[in-house]
Structure 1
Amino acid sequence: MLGSAATLVLGVLAFFELGLPWMARELAPLVPPAMERTVSDQALALLDATHLKPSGLPAEKREALQLRFHEITRGLPRADGLRLDFRHAPALGPNAFVLPDGQVVMTDQLVELAADEDELLAVLAHEAGHHEHRHGMRRALESSAVVVVAGFLFGDLSGTGSLSVSIPVLLLESGFSRKHEREADAFAFELLERNGISPEAFARVMEKLSAGRGGEAGVVGYLSTHPPSPERIEAARRAASD
């Protein structure tokens, strides 16, 4: 009996540590674009109602950043879905995140914190990495495993509405996993260098964000506490020196 119980516990742990991430990785590319848009629209509507306000940045500033973002992401496999929007978010402070359909939201507070455009593009390159790797949808599928994963397996997608609830919670509380953050960071460093921008810009903006949080990373996207900011800053500087 003890052996059976131990086997059951190990099996459950293996499923959540290995099985769920694998299933989410395999299922995420199968999610139709229309469903990604619906889930993202619902998630952003919830965030707009609770944490976000219309941007107060000058239209010229927003348009210039949107143009540069389009320029550095042109040619990416999932570039067609990427677009940049802005929100005023006193409660969240300097932050940015990307929704599963590719909409990137950057707060006015982050734009004001950054010293230059390169620092903002470094953050945006990181968010593009999350989009290219489908991290948002994968995390949402993992968190909604009981309803959503079973629905995909048995052909009943009626429960996928829970994704629109899962995504804001993930963005505001748990961020991404260590592996996802490292993947997005590595993607960003390569994308920046291809566009003539040093990854040092990522290190600089991360230092500002970490200092603003009293040494702690924030809660959204690249501000996740996984991995710690010093490790990510060091990785950016290594990439810049290579």
Structure 2
Amino acid sequence: MKKNTIAFFYDGNTSVPQQIDLVLVESKGVFCFQSNDGVNHNWVIKKVTFSKRPSGIHLEYGVELIQHIKIEDANFIQAIQDFRKQEGQISVYQKLIDLGTALHLVIAVLIMGIIGLCYWYVIPWVGEKSVALIPTEYDNQLGNSAWISNEYFVTVDSSKTKILNDFAQKLDLKNTKELKFTVVKSDEVNAFALPDGNIVVFTGILKEMKNYDELVGLLGHEASHVNNRHSMKMLCRSVSGYLFVSLILGDANGVMAVIGDNVNSLQSLSFSREFEHQADSDGFKILAANKVNPEGMSNLFKRLQKQHSVSIPEFLSSHPITENRIDYIEKMIKNQKFQIAANPQLEKLFAELKQ
């Protein structure tokens, strides 16, 4: 079947258009026309480049000398499109191009949305899960580096550090690695755990405590962060973009270099709600396993929340204490069975820490 229309031909040598009678020969799959110099042209449709523009459809043909045809006839343009679809000559890319500006904008917004979701949720999740690929020896190296970079700016209370370590030795903290405890002289109400097992407790938070069961609850909570590698997981989440690329490329040294550059943020990481929930649950189990009153944890949280409702201390900013967390602990106290036994040794050591 033949179809024809009036079109404009540019021979590639001049910018002057030539009006031509363009014929679509579907049986042969070619465009036929004669230029002003009397030359007959046969363009194989498969070799033609099509571009849709506001002025119509534009055809380009040739390798060294690019020739051009502009078609404005809507019916002829539709005939070309129907033929190309029938022959399967329209690529996915071309179909997307033909959708129009409005749909292009919608697609762009959707793609940007997907990229944003991946950046904020998928890649951080991958970063967190990738901790399983990092040997635990790196936890010790990073924790030690973090402490060395900070110990010049703090004053360690050696006497209370010894007492706190003696206190912890009386407990079963369910630890999977050796734990060590350091007391820092500071009015800040703060405590944090480094991935190497160093649990740092500030004298400011010790002053807030009224009973040794509160200290057991705090140590159990921080021990859970170490046992579950929460610091490493959150650190990997925070550098997940770089980490993800390094893992894809199989660059283990690059992974550790990225984490090492961010080691100073270990003590100020804000744990996710999931990690805090797990640490609270593990802390409760540690209290129960040591026959220490689990109310110690909820009492400490209530006191800290009440006394620092305006000026939020460091411990609360990195371990946000919410009503939900307190309610969760109190529900465990009500719903789970446990035994409480007085522990004169813990009570004596706690009294020494309070001095």
- Which TM-score tier does this pair reach, normalised by the shorter chain? 0.7 to 0.9
Q: Which residue of 2 aligns with 1:97?
A: 192
Q: Which residue of 1 aligns with 2:172?
A: 72
Deviation at 1:84, TM superposition (A): 2.7
Asked if 1 retains the 8 angstrom alpha-carbon contact of 2:176 and 2:227, the reply is: no
Match of 1:83 in 2: 179
CA shift for structure 1 position 202: 0.6
Quote the offset at 1:89 in angstroms. 4.4
Q: Return closer, same or farther for 1:162/1:216 CA change in 2, 3 Å cut-off.
A: farther
- Distance in 2, matches of 1:199 and 1:216, equals 27
State percent identity of aligned pairs: 21
1:241 is the counterpart of 2:334: yes
Match among 98, 116, 120 for residue 13 of structure 1: 116
Give secondary structure in 1 for the equivalent of 2:262.
Answer: helix
Structure 2: stretches of 5+ with no match in the other structure = 1-103, 336-355
RMSD in angstroms over aligned alpha carbons?
Answer: 2.5
**Following the alignment from structure 1 to structure 2, what is the Cα–Cα distance between the partners of residues 194 and 215?**
35
Match of 2:50 in 1: none
Aligned partners of 2:128 and 2:237 also within 8 Å: no
Instruction: Measure, in 2, the Cα distance between the counterparts of 1:144 and 1:202.
Output: 32
Listed as ranges, the matches of 1:156-167 within 5 Å are 156-159=251-254, 160-167=256-263
2:292 to 190, 197, 203: 197
Cα pair 2:221 2:283 within 8 Å, conserved: yes
Aligned 1:160-179 pairs, distance under 5 A = 160-169=256-265, 171-172=267-268, 174-179=269-274
List structure 1 runs of 4+ shifted beyond 6 angstroms: none
Tell me whether 129-138 or 146-155 shows the greater mean CA deviation: 146-155
Matched residue SS, 2:138: helix
Amino acid at match of 1:163: I
- Residues 156 and 162 of structure 1: CA distance in aligned 2, closer, same or farther (over 3 Å): same
Higher helix share: 1
State which of 128, 131, 135 in structure 2 corresponds to 1:25: 128
Q: TM-score, normalised by structure 1?
A: 0.82
Partner of 1:229: 322
State the aligned residue count: 231
> What is the Cα deviation at residue 194 of structure 1?
2.5
Contact 1:104 1:127 (8 Å CA) reproduced: yes
Which digits, 9 at most, give the CA deviation of each residue in 1:95-120, with x for residues without a partner?
21111232221122222321122111
Quick check: 1:96–1:104 contact (8 Å CA) kept in 2? Answer: yes
Partners of 1:133 and 1:140 lie apart in 2 by 13
Output the CA distance in 2 between the equivalents of 1:126 and 1:233.
13
8 A Cα contact 1:40 1:164, kept in partner: no
Aligned amino acid, residue 265 of structure 2: V
- Which residue of structure 1 aligns with residue 156 of structure 2? 54
CA shift, 1:227, in A, is 5.0
103-112 or 38-47, which deviates more: 103-112
Name the amino acid aligned to 2:221: H
**Bigger share in strand:** 2
Shift of 1:54: 1.1
Q: Given that residues 43 and 165 in structure 1 are in contact (C-alpha distance below 8 angstroms), is that contact kept between their aligned partners in structure 2?
A: no
Distance in 1 (CA, whole Å) between partners of 2:119 and 2:185 is: 34
Post-superposition CA distance 1:28-69 (Å, at most 9, x none): 12211221111111111222234x32125446522322313x
User: Are 2:280 and 1:185 equivalent residues in the alignment?
Assistant: yes
Any conservation in 1 of the 2:213–2:292 contact (CA below 8 Å)? yes
Matched letter for residue 8 of structure 1: I
Q: 1:180 to 1:156 in 2, by over 3 A?
A: same
User: Any gaps of 5 or more consecutive residues in structure 1?
Assistant: none
Please say if residues 43 and 164 of structure 1, whose CA atoms lie closer than 8 Å, have aligned partners that are also in contact: no
Q: Tell me the residue number matched to 2:308.
A: 213
* Aligned counterpart, 1:63: 165
